[in-house]
Amino acid sequence: MAIKVGIPKGTRDHLPVAMRRREQVLAAIRRVYERHGFEPLETPAIENIETLSGKYGEEGDQLLFRILKRGAKAATGECDLGLRYDLTVPLARVVAMHQNELPKVFKRYQMQPVWRADRPGHGRFREFYQCDIDIVGAAEPVPEIDMLSAVAELFGELGFSAIALRLNDRRVLRGLIERAGVPAQRESQAIVAIDKLDKIGEDGVRRELLARGFVESVADALLELLRTASAGDVLLALDGVFAGMPDALAGVANLRKIVRGLEQMELGATRLVVDPCLARGLDYYTGAIFEVQSEDLAGSLAGGGRYDKLIGMFSGRELPACGVSLGLERILVVMQERGMFDTGEHACDAMLAYFSEDTLGASLRCCARLRHHGLRVDLYPCADKLGKQFAHANQMNIPYVVLIGPEEAEAGVVKLKDMRSGEQLQLDMDALLERLGAMTTHDGAS
């Protein structure tokens, strides 16, 4: 009797075809980020529960996967560990714990799964990869320029053609809210409403503000300001709006430097958009915030910003930092839907068919030889009918099958079947290597 099998809600197995696509994208991310001087970091999947608790708001706490104590203490139902919820809090913990081993300016990338007990939905999972870059230990604006140029280059390398970088600064957002007459302690309430502007429109945000208890005059003033600030030369308009507000003006100056810096860095088709309505939900941002969008696609592919206070919560001394997080699962879905992956991909260059136990030795020698030349070669492992073996090669999208029967073994040759054309040739080893496009020549002539 078989055990009932299932997989946890919101999780997936990544079978080989999907895995190769994931690997392809992860390799591109790694390549671009390393070219930009970011170094790899990995942290454990499990963290002490006190490291995670209270860092992601009330909702985040609900979504943590908690791990029961082991041994006799399990009976108490107490938890001491939780699964990683993002890559930013672990980074802050790493910086606090390894201060003396890390360089003063620490540029790291991290590509690992995180877990959230969210309601699963289309393209939303309970286990998903995040790919983050962060620069710790340096103030604005150069880290922002460096990171955004890396992200723009990455999307170009992945094959996205119409990418927009939307930029804003928390001080700009706060300035607009203050100017509209919102008291400081209600600022984050207003940010939550503004954050929905591109989803629910001006009317929706107005209703949301009123529902959150803002008076009509404040709501209208805020929307009017957002409208003013978004028209024409945005940075110039903001300078006008913020006369006499030094913090907000510092935000505008920062955005201006980031824009000018990025203009030096050959971003190709990437469009820069300063958007004073961009809010991003997370409480911990203190300066620039940004999102990466594909122009013909709702929602964002990446996002991030500066958070100069978060690491101090762990290390006891404030350390400036900023970061960008890529939504790998969404990027994969979009690339898949748009046919951006090579469909001709095959895992193997050739397959050695199994003819009989008598010729197995010759097949094994041939197989080893091809692999020594860098070819990816599958070895069919049992005495199935040849038709079945060819069907396997077709299913696996393997372009060539090599067959060694008694006559071939005797003569020191092989039969090569081209699975696309059906053509069948008799070749010696050198001709076979040439035909299969062997990449390297580890050993001498046959």
Strands 350-352 and 400-403: parallel
- CB-count exposure of residue 94 (10 Å: 0-12, 13-18, 19+): buried
Q: Considering just the CA atoms, what is the radius of gyration of the chain in Å?
A: 28
Minimum CB distance to a copy of itself, residue 77 (Å): 3
Is 1 or 231 the residue whose CB approaches a copy of itself more closely? 1
Minimum CB distance to a copy of itself, residue 351 (Å): 7
Minimum CB distance to a copy of itself, residue 160 (Å): 18
Minimum CB distance to a copy of itself, residue 415 (Å): 19
Is 43 or 230 the residue whose CB approaches a copy of itself more closely? 43
H or E stretch including 292? strand 288-294
Is 285 or 354 the residue whose CB approaches a copy of itself more closely? 354
Minimum CB distance to a copy of itself, residue 321 (Å): 11
Minimum CB distance to a copy of itself, residue 261 (Å): 6
Is 96 or 210 the residue whose CB approaches a copy of itself more closely? 96
Query: What's the half-sphere exposure (Cβ side, CA atoms, 13 Å) at 346?
Result: 20
Minimum CB distance to a copy of itself, residue 184 (Å): 23
Is 199 or 388 the residue whose CB approaches a copy of itself more closely? 388
Q: Which two tokens stand for residue 144?
A: 């922002």
Closest Cα to residue 34, out of 92, 108, 143, 112? 108
Minimum CB distance to a copy of itself, residue 330 (Å): 18
Q: Are 424 and 416 in contact (CB under 8 A)?
A: yes
Q: What residue has token string 């940075």?
A: 235
Is 175 or 320 the residue whose CB approaches a copy of itself more closely? 320
Q: Are 352 and 379 in contact (CB under 8 A)?
A: yes
Q: Within its chain, how far is the Cα of 235 from the centroid?
A: 31
Is 128 or 285 the residue whose CB approaches a copy of itself more closely? 128
Q: What residue has token string 């609900």?
A: 62
Query: What's the half-sphere exposure (Cβ side, CA atoms, 13 Å) at 80?
Result: 6
Minimum CB distance to a copy of itself, residue 75 (Å): 8
Is 240 or 361 the residue whose CB approaches a copy of itself more closely? 361
Is 83 or 433 the residue whose CB approaches a copy of itself more closely? 83
Q: What Å distances lie between residue 274 and 167, 169, 240, 376, CA to CA?
A: 5, 9, 16, 49
Rounded Cα distance between 249 and 255, Å, is 10
Minimum CB distance to a copy of itself, residue 134 (Å): 12
Closest Cα to residue 85, out of 114, 59, 111? 114
Q: Within its chain, how far is the Cα of 8 from the centroid?
A: 22
Minimum CB distance to a copy of itself, residue 66 (Å): 5
Rounded Cα distance between 27 and 179, Å, is 46
Closest Cα to residue 155, out of 322, 38, 271? 271
Rounded Cα distance between 280 and 170, Å, is 9
Is 289 or 393 the residue whose CB approaches a copy of itself more closely? 393
Is 39 or 224 the residue whose CB approaches a copy of itself more closely? 39
* Helix residue spans in 212-327 (DSSP H): 216-230, 234-241, 246-263, 310-315
**Hey, what amino acid is at 265?**
M
Q: Are 154 and 301 in contact (CB under 8 A)?
A: no
Q: Are 86 and 130 in contact (CB under 8 A)?
A: yes
